[in-house]
Amino acid sequence: MQRFPLLIAGFVLMVTPAVNVFGADPVFDELRVELRKKWPKNRTVRLVFHGHSVPAGYFRDGNVRTFDAYPSLLHRQLCQHFPTAVIDVCVTAIGGENSLRGAKRFKADVLSMRPDLVFIDYSLNDRFAGLDDSEQAWRSMIGEAQDAGVQVVLLTPTPDSNEDISDQATLLAQHADQVRRIAQDMNVPLVDSYDAFRKRVESGTDIDSLLSQPNHPNRDGHEVVAELLVQLLVPAEE
């Protein structure tokens, strides 16, 4: 199965609202070519979402709503934009897990599926793992993916209403900043979910209207993240 090349040297910055692509635009151009192919020239394009309860689809009181979570919302939109593509979306996320544990199973559970893209979302739970250890875990996963020729996309966290999203000094805000810095340092794409939620709150949206419980988005909250992912993968003219 053909895979896409590693990021080019140096970096080129492309900015759309809350989406930064450091040096990766040629990679996404090649992915879009694959997504536009028709049978018999097409192949399965595989996206893997690695992280904690949010990408796993947990809403309130342990209820899992897979088809209302952002991996499935993205899957549906990609199928609409690329109707001849065979797109496989896999979720390796585990509720309650942090990046330290996620890094330990990254090769076995994620890279073994030979994905085209891997999305990493762990910051909500990384608050309990610490900044230093979680940074090491994120960098480890990115490095393993790059060694395997697999493109990684990092996501900053969705909000927790127990922390003021407008306060840049909260622990969750610090983890969001760390993910941004790792993305730029390691030249990988960033989807800044935290910033997108912050902008909505600053424009007057009640944060609780985007959450099913304090630390889990509802369908509308997942739509915020899915919208950013579509911006990353689908050209604006489409």
Domains and CATH numbers, the chain: 16-233 (3.40.50.1110)
Q: Is 167 helix (H, G, I), strand (E, B) or coil?
A: coil
Number of Cα atoms under 13 Å in the Cβ half of residue 159: 28
What pLDDT score does 84 carry?
98
Is the distance from CB of 109 to CB of 93 less than 8 angstroms? no
Give whole-number Cα distances, 193 to 33, 34, 155, 188, 199, in Å: 26, 26, 6, 16, 10
Tell me: pLDDT of 12 over 80: no
How does the average pLDDT of the chain come out, rounded?
Answer: 91
Contacts of residue 51, defined as CB under 8 A and 6 or more positions apart, other chains included, come to 93, 97, 102, 119, 120, 121, 122, 155
pLDDT, residue 235, reads 78
| pLDDT digits 0-9 by tens, 61-73 | 999 999 999 999 9
For range 83-105, the mean pLDDT = 98
99 versus 237: which is more confidently predicted?
A: 99
Distance from C-alpha of 173 to C-alpha of 160, rounded to nearest angstrom: 10
